[in-house]
Structure 1
Amino acid sequence: MDDLKRRWGIETNFQLTIIFIVFAITGSTSAWLSKPVCFWLGITKGDLGYLFTPIRLLLIFPLYQVLLVAIGFVFGQFKFFWAFEKKMLKRMGFNFLFKE
């Protein structure tokens, strides 16, 4: 745990616990919200068959990104999650989104 705290620049176990809680809540919430979002967009398993799951996973991704920063903000960890988000998106090739 000390290595993870050092790599993420975290000083206390409490902050690390809060960050783990935010990751857990965000993952569960984005998976839970993907069902109504698919319904709202008219994406059904009956129409798409085996393509439904990959499409649903693609929908979860942007939902997860937004929720991660929002839930991190609610838990007082906006600075950490905003930096985490920028780093992850830059690694995925979305550098153009962040002009620094």
Structure 2
Amino acid sequence: MKKLKERWEIVKNWQLIFPLLGIVGLGYSAFRLSSLFLKEQHIALNIALTAGIFFLLLKFVLFIFKKLESKWDIKYRWELISIFLVFAITGSSSVFIGKPIIKFIGITKDNLPAFAYWILYILIGFIFYQILLVAIGWLFGQYHFFWNFEKKMLKRLGFKKFVE
């Protein structure tokens, strides 16, 4: 436990939740990917494939962490896990919230051409993604990181007036 705390620069015990959530999320992703590859349910083969995918994903994520640790302005390594969790939750949540909004407005695939429907769907999802990114980032204690990230993104999209 001491090595884990030192490696991820954890100074308070509550911060251990982030590596734990990261490992659980990585394990779930590995399991879902192995289920995609295996059509039939072979428990031993599924466990072996899940373990292999988990190992590969772990190596990939740690490689990404090394690259982003120097690029992003963060104080502690455990914050990287927190940031990635916020991105994952926000992506799923924006789709989850966008569907009922589109139905509430009355937009369906039946009353619009498919191209227009998907453009509106993506646009509404993108708007909610921006809002949720800062809100969920705040819940995870990463408000400043995500507010700066948001300002940078809005400037690149040409909305300089709104973030100055």
Which residue number corresponds to residue 37 of structure 1? 101
Contact 2:154 2:163 in 1 (8 A): no
Work out the CA distance in 1 between the residues paired with 2:76 and 2:66. Answer: 10
Q: Distance in 1 between matches of 2:113 and 2:97?
A: 20
- Are 1:2 and 2:66 an aligned pair? yes
Q: Distance in 2 between matches of 1:60 and 1:45?
A: 16
> What is the CA–CA distance in structure 1 between the aligned matches of 2:122 and 2:70, rounded to whole Å?
32
Query: What residue in structure 1 maps to residue 32 of structure 2?
Result: none
- Could you report, residue by residue, the CA deviation over 1:55-84 in whole angstroms, capped at 9, with x for unpaired residues? 100111110000000000011100000000
Whether the 8 Å CA contact 2:69–2:80 is kept in 1: the answer is yes
Kindly provide the amino acid, as one letter, of the partner of residue 92 in structure 2. S
SS at match of 1:10: coil
Q: What pairs up with 1:6-25 in 2 under 5 angstroms?
A: 6-25=70-89
Aligned residues: 99
**1:68 maps to 2:107:** no
Match of 1:84 in 2: 149
Task: After TM superposition, give the deviation of residue 45 of structure 1 in Å.
Answer: 1.0
CA RMSD of aligned residues (A): 1.0
Q: Tell me, in whole angstroms, the C-alpha distance in 2 between the residues paired with 1:2 and 1:12.
A: 12
Task: Indicate if the aligned counterparts of 1:5 and 1:11 stay in contact, CA closer than 8 A.
Answer: no
The answer as to whether partners of 2:134 and 2:143 remain within 8 angstroms in 1 is: yes
Please state whether the residue corresponding to 2:95 is helix, strand or coil: helix
Would the aligned equivalents of 1:30 and 1:63 in 2 still touch at CA under 8 Å?
yes
Paired residues of 2:94 and 2:132 also in contact (CA < 8 A): yes
- Structure 2: which 5+ runs fail to align? 1-64
Q: Which structure has the higher relative contact order (CA within 8 Å, separation 6+)?
A: 1
Compute the displacement of 1:2 (Å). Answer: 2.2
